[in-house]
A and B are shown apart, each in its own frame.
Chain A
Amino acid sequence: GAVVSQHPSWVICKSGTSVKIECRSLDFQATTMFWYRQFPKQSLMLMATSNEGSKATYEQGVEKDKFLINHASLTLSTLTVTSAHPEDSSFYICSARDLEGRGFDTGELFFGEGSRLTVL
């Protein structure tokens, strides 16, 4: 199956610093990538949908200037949490769909392993 790699798998940072999380599709070209956030014992919350070469579409309530998303190539999308604060501590997950449309229409979102962010 299609592989999505996410890095780093966990990161600890100080309050006020910025953290970048990478999401790579290893064996397919990802036209669309989705960024989720999951707090403990909560459901996955979609933060934004990013399409290669265009601006990301953010969900209501998600600050565009705080969560910067770049999808510059068909195999890489990045999420940067700027000026992180303890309330940003969460499990961030990316997922992707490919050029043929696989990875969503049949529910087969190809998920990354997730990145656990802890802001001190």
Chain B
Amino acid sequence: QKEVEQNSGPLSVPEGAIASLNCTYSDRGSQSFFWYRQYSGKSPELIMFIYSNGDKEDGRFTAQLNKASQYVSLLIRDSQPSDSATYLCAVSRFNAGNNRKLIWGLGTSLAVNP
């Protein structure tokens, strides 16, 4: 079982619709959860982070965390063609050197169709 799992997609939604991206993680001790967007050939860019159970909203984006079920999701409202990208879920934990590090999912490819 991968530590962070995402459906690779592609997820295809029409413009203006809500895109729902899901992520599950295996380490119950994980505390911080992040969503990044990565365009092809580019580095990731942070969209949102969430620590507490529940919802966190920022503009068109809402992150949802359920620690009991070990999943975190990202909702994108009013999807735009420019939202078409790969969305990476990441979870933080400590490595052998007691440095915190991020564990990344494979990403979900999102295509927003005009």
Chain A interfacial positions (CB closer than 8 Å to B): 32, 34, 41-46, 49, 51, 57, 59-60, 91, 93, 95, 104-109, 111-114, 116
Contacts and interface: CB of A to CB of B under 8 A. Distances in A.
Contact of A57 (B4, B32, B46, B99): B99
Contact of A44 (B41, B44, B95): B44
B46 A107 contact: yes
B88 A46 contact: no
A109 B42 contact: no
Given A32-B99, A44-B44, A113-B43, A107 B34 contact: yes
A44 B88 contact: yes
A109 B102 contact: yes
A16 B79 CA distance: 47
Interface of B: 4, 8, 32, 34, 41-46, 48-49, 88, 90, 92, 95-97, 99-102, 104-107
A93 B46 CA distance: 15
Given A49-B95, A57-B95, A59-B95, A108 B101 contact: no
Nearest to A93: B43
Contacts of A32: 99
Contacts of B42: 113-114
Contacts of B32: 105, 107
A82 to B, nearest CB: 22
Given A49-B97, A107-B46, 9 more contacts: A34-B101, A41-B106, A43-B105, A43-B107, A59-B101, A60-B96, A105-B32, A107-B32, A108-B49
A42 B34 contact: no
Contacts of A107: 32, 34, 46, 48-49, 90, 92
